[in-house]
Amino acid sequence: MKLKKYEKNPIIAPNPANAWENLVTCNPGVIYDDGRFYMLYRAAGDDKEHVIRLGLAVSENGFDFRRVGDSPVFGPSADGPDGGCVEDPRIVKFDNEFYITYAYRAHAPGQYWTFAHDVVRLPQCGAYAPAAMAQNLGNTGLAVTTDFRNFRRLGRLTSPVLDDRDVILFPEKIGGKFAMMHRPKQFVGERYGVKYPSIWLKFSDDLLAWEDKPSHLLIAGREGTWEEKIGGSTPPILTEAGWLTLYHGVADGGTAEYRVGALLLDRENPLRVLARTPEPILEPEFFYETEGFYSHCVFPTGNVVVDGVLYVYYGGADKYVGVATCRLEQLLNYLTEKCRCE
């Protein structure tokens, strides 16, 4: 099974008129609320430091998005730990507030596509600088908003000594606790039982109190397949069949193209994987997925269900935003009938 890509993709592309988004627009967090789709998209200009911010776009039909204003709505802080970049938002709603997990660095990463794979720009620091600064680690923060224009930064969710991104909250408590997926890059080797970075789950009584909570392995990559290195992609959606969530997989230990699979998790115990797609349901094909700053990459960060249709929003080649769809029932039937793990 494959998701159907919108024939008019990309739905967001770099805007030459705005210096802060004239090079990159990708990896959007999207939520549907009160009849409108809200999108926070990652954006960057052609500056050498590659400062990354978030722009806002809205839509009534899920396909035709219009930018809101000519300025970013969320960016690096002037004097906080996320002073270099903010990127890859995932959005969930609790009560009347929208909570956004976002990856950040202490310093702007630089034009990473000109470096070796998985290398970022390092700042000049003193000998006793903490790892988050000296190594310019990717951490994850939490912000909250009610209108997508005014945000409050709540703090860091991940360990300051880990490169820990792809952090995604479940949109409801499970067994009275909040649940969170994360992908710590250093959790590899014999101690962790995995060869490549994998997806882990944590549970907590508080949305900010995660660091002292144990991490439980959800799924690991599959050696010699399209998904050796993996990470969570989209906020889970609660269905009658279980929690539906998408994840990305990369072959060759994380150096090849990015593709997308789907998981179905037990409603009451999300550590129990009910189904997992053996083959990708989304993969790079068109120019907006193959030609960019990370070529041959599809990277979902948002999904919503409206009138039985699943909308999946993704970054293409670290440059564009695309959307793909299917009937929710179709994907659930495929998972439960063809992809059962038990």
pLDDT of 54-104, one tens digit each? Answer: 999 999 999 999 999 999 999 999 999 999 999 999 999 999 999 999 999
Query: How far, in Å, CA of 50 to CA of 130, rounded?
Result: 22
Tens of pLDDT, residue by residue over 234-281, are: 999 999 999 999 999 999 988 899 999 999 999 999 999 999 999 999
pLDDT tens by residue, 183-195: 999 999 999 999 9
334: three-class secondary structure by DSSP: helix
The second-level CATH assignment, the architecture, of 4-338 is 5 Propeller (2.115)
Query: Which residue type, as a one-letter code, is found at position 205?
Result: D
Q: What separation in angstroms does the CA of 80 have from each of 55, 74, 110, 138, 320? A: 20, 14, 19, 14, 28
Q: How far apart are CA 224 and CA 149, in angstroms?
A: 44
pTM score above 0.85: yes
Phi, psi at 82, each rounded to 5°: -100, 45
Q: Which residues contact 9 (CB under 8 A, 6 or more apart)?
A: 286, 288, 316, 320, 322, 323
